[in-house]
Amino acid sequence: MIEFIRNLSAFLVALGILIAVHEFGHFWVARRCGVYVERFSIGFGKALFSRVGKDGTEYTLALIPLGGYVKMLDERVAEVPPEKRHMAFNNKKIWQRSAIVAAGPMANFVFAVFAYWVVYLIGVPALRPVIGEVAPQSIAAKAGIIPGMELKSVSGLETSDWESANMALISQIGDKQVVITAQEPDSSIVVSRTLDLTDWSFDPESQRVLTTLGISPFTPPITLTVSQLVDNSAAIDAGFKLNDKIVTVDNKSVTQWQQFVDAVRTHPGKTLQVEVLRDDEPVMLSLTPRVKVEADGKEVGYVGLAPSIEPWPASYKVNLKFGPIEAAIKATEKTGQLVSLTFDMVTKLVTGDVAMKNLSGPISIAKGAGMTAEFGLVYFLGFLALISVNLGIVNLLPLPVLDGGHLMFFAIEAVTRRPVSERIQDIGYRVGSAILVALMAVALFNDFTRL
């Protein structure tokens, strides 16, 4: 229940900010173009708060926080007094109407730049994209990628950390090949490698992009020293204590953590004799792994303990923190990459290169908002920037109910020298609404299947 409230609260805060930004874009440009704005509303339905400003605009916070709108004076909607007709939206030039409509999505992009600017001013800890292991016969191995290499770019996009590397690689879905650059281990030499993606299969919902390519990021070595014990577990029953160091299992020497994991998993319900070092003294324990049934029906053992991991080397850590000017440049570059990636994903969604099951709705967004808010301000701001870019691009889609649809009608008007007929627009709105509702239904269905 607490998690639900946290996710919902973070979602409402995020949604409120992004809606306000989007609608303010329309509002600000409309005022600059001389259009009279009757109402600026965040949300729909019954007004929870309403105030009329000195400019005559009614500012409203409404009950249903799933959108917002800017109501402008428009002769197509209601009768306009003769003295105010010059302030009606429909009487403005095409470029002015286009600017007003486009200002919403543009405001979302500007906000993303601002959010990333703040992130880079505060600083965000990250890890250099150094490759730990490469699976034999994998796509990466065949391309000549080797352990210890550090990714520098993917298709020309700079990859200063693993987040940017993952995003750049995900954008390659549906492509036949990708060119990456990487710095060779213990060297300053940067080489170019081409990955053949002809037979690449990647499901964003169940797989990690790096794993499907055969790449494992570098991680510090896992020790054989116990650092965590689960209450009422098999490990507690066997007498394990914190800081015990595993030495042997059934008289077989254990030098790597995975050896112990394999022994436990392959002996569900069967007793293992485990030797540990405790305060430099050998202690023999009888460990009986409990039985766990996996999704495929296979029985495996588990004991409820975890090892310690050696600390990250300082050279592998980076703090993405910059001065005001450099932060602005980095923020603009990051937003540009997000815009490009999102456009690619939308295109590939239409072409079928990305499955519809990967479409996410408000439930997934709420969960993401809750998680990032819990991690801290910089992560929440990064999440807001990502969603803001997505909101801006979705609104630019050429569906008549969206800003992109209005821009499409204005483009036709500019070419034909006359407005698109109300009948055609009405048909377009009906079709656009049906498509949008269908997409929302798919997104919600996907959300529920992930719960």
C-beta neighbour count of 203 within 10 angstroms: 11
Please state, in angstroms and rounded to a whole number, the distance separating the CA atoms of residues 390 and 364: 14
C-beta neighbour count of 371 within 10 angstroms: 16
Closest C-alpha among 131, 74, 144 to residue 419 = 74
Choose, from 3, 23, 205, 333, the residue flagged as catalytic.
Answer: 23
| Tokens 């790449």 sit on residue | 215
Element (H, E) at 98: helix 94-122
Q: Which residues contact 433 (CB under 8 A, 6 or more apart)?
A: 401
Beta strand segments in 215-316, E: 215-217, 222-229, 245-249, 252-253, 272-278, 281-287, 290-293, 299-302, 305-309
How would you classify the pairing of strands 222-229 and 190-196? unpaired
Check if 23 is active-site: yes
Cβ(131)–Cβ(218) below 8 Å: yes
Query: What are the backbone angles phi and psi of residue 38, rounded to the nearest 5°?
Result: -80, -40
81 burial type by CB count under 10 A (0-12 exposed, 13-18 middle, 19+ buried): exposed
| Residue 32 identity (one-letter amino acid) | R
Query: What are the backbone angles phi and psi of residue 32, rounded to the nearest 5°?
Result: -70, -25
20 burial type by CB count under 10 A (0-12 exposed, 13-18 middle, 19+ buried): middle
Q: Which two tokens stand for residue 86?
A: 């010059």
Please state, in angstroms and rounded to a whole number, the distance separating the CA atoms of residues 352 and 347: 9
Cβ(263)–Cβ(249) below 8 Å: yes
- Scanning 123-196, the segments in alpha helix (DSSP H) are 139-142, 162-170
Query: Checking phi first, is residue 269 left (phi over 0); if not, alpha (psi -120 to 50) or beta?
Result: left
Q: Give the SS3 label for residue 112.
A: helix
Q: Which two tokens stand for residue 331?
A: 């923020």
Query: What are the backbone angles phi and psi of residue 75, rounded to the nearest 5°?
Result: -65, -20
Please state, in angstroms and rounded to a whole number, the distance separating the CA atoms of residues 309 and 1: 33
The residues annotated with a catalytic role in the active site are 23
